[in-house]
Copies of this chain bind each other. A is one copy, B any other.
Amino acid sequence: MNTNTSEAVYLDRINRARTEMKRAGVDALILSVGHDLPYLTGYLAMPLERLTLLVVPQIGKASLIIPRLEAPRVHELPTVFSLVPWNETDDPVRLAHELLGNARTIAVGDQMWSRFLVDLLQHRPDNKYVRSVEVMEALRSRKDAAEIAALKAAGAAADRVAAQLHAGEIPMVGRTEAEVSADISARLIAEGHQKVNFAIVAAGENAASPHHHAGDRVIKHGEIVLCDFGGTMNGYCSDITRCVHIGEPPADIAAAYAVLMEAQAAGVAAGVLGSSCENVDAVTRAIIDAAGYGEYFVHRTGHGIGMEEHEDPYMVTGNSTPIAAGYAYSVEPGIYVPGKWGMRLEDIVVATENGPVAVNNANHALVVLDR
């Protein structure tokens, strides 16, 4: 968890968060599980029933409410926050309520468990609650140089696994999706990730389900296999999708894939500063629509990525946010024909002053494998 990030970086981030709070009219920010907390403090809360909660008032010292038995896990940053450990028979939500004092508008961490907000509502029914993204998106969506370097390193590691896939080093025919998924997972770790976040392997008609769970389905000759995988390396995430075909693809799949490649490349190229997030989506969708596959492209074009696999900003209709330097996001159009086949092509892109830079550079073609 970013143990190399210095206290000065966290202090700067929390000060910038306060500036955003002031702008948004937020009196206090409360953060629990999720990645806003480690972004500001270096500490990732355990996703458990014992509450960990950072309370950041607009003015005054931040406090990290933490179960006493987890306190030894925290690397303390005295200039950034104070520790408030609680004992097993204390009520941590009451502690939070007291620290919140007379705050009226409270920004709540997106992934905080609702049980704690429900309990807080009993104490503070008349406060206004908003999402932490109102405060944190401006900070987290613009990656700094160290964050971009970490994303590139994770992306390069994922690219190496994709290269092994393309080289035929990951056998397909006769293995189950689950076996290939485990193989890819092991390779993500071997290439430097500390954690595998997902390794979707979907063969044939299963590839038409974008979030297919790799199962007992045995991969056969003559099928397309969609592989979408990523993990976390030194605190930042990778995410890449490549498809392979076992044996020469039939004409319909080859034709659709050519459209997909064109759409994806156009989406990457659309990531210029000042253009909008929704425009990236519009660009890929227009090409797929024009080729007649529009009804088969059933999801948005992309998502932000950083400490989380999916985070703001989203490349989706309705998000008119201008693309800014340091934005990192996926470009991943897909075509899914129910009951038949599916395909998706995905790279991570970083927006810069000099235009979009793809983090992933593995071969984009529908590589043909023979086994």
Contacts and interface: CB of A to CB of B under 8 A. Distances in A.
Interface of A: 46, 48-49, 68-70, 72-73, 87-89, 108-119, 121, 129-131, 133, 208-213, 298-300, 303, 310-311, 314, 316-318, 338
Nearest to A309: B48
30 contacts: A49-B110, A49-B303, A68-B298, A69-B209, A70-B211, A72-B208, A72-B338, A73-B209, A73-B212, A87-B298, A88-B299, A88-B300, A88-B316, A88-B317, A89-B316, A89-B317, A108-B114, A108-B115, A110-B113, A110-B115, A112-B113, A112-B114, A114-B114, A115-B131, A115-B133, A117-B118, A118-B129, A118-B130, A118-B131, A119-B131
A119 B111 CA distance: 13
Nearest to A126: B125
A73 B113 contact: no
Contacts of A46: 211
Q: Copy number of this protein in the oligomer?
A: 2
A55 to B, nearest CB: 14
A111 B115 contact: yes
A118 B175 CA distance: 45
A320 to B, nearest CB: 13
Nearest to A34: B113
* Residue of A73, A114, A211, A318 contacting most chain B CB atoms (<10 Å): A114
A239 to B, nearest CB: 13
Given A72-B338, A87-B298, A88-B299, 11 more contacts: A48-B310, A49-B311, A69-B210, A89-B316, A89-B317, A89-B318, A115-B131, A117-B117, A118-B129, A118-B131, A121-B129
Contacts of A209: 69, 72-73
Contacts of A298: 68-69, 87-88
A336 to B, nearest CB: 8
Nearest to A182: B189
Nearest to A178: B194
A94 to B, nearest CB: 13
Nearest to A334: B69
B119 A114 contact: no
A316 B121 CA distance: 24
Nearest to A132: B115
A298 B88 CA distance: 8
A342 to B, nearest CB: 10
Contacts of A311: 49
B212 A72 contact: yes
Contacts of A49: 110, 303, 310-311, 314
B111 A113 contact: yes
A282 to B, nearest CB: 12
Nearest to A301: B88
Contacts of A316: 88-89
A50 to B, nearest CB: 9
A108 B118 contact: yes
* Residue of A88, A213, A298, A303 contacting most chain B CB atoms (<10 Å): A88
A110 B119 CA distance: 10
Contact of A211 (B69, B121, B131): B69
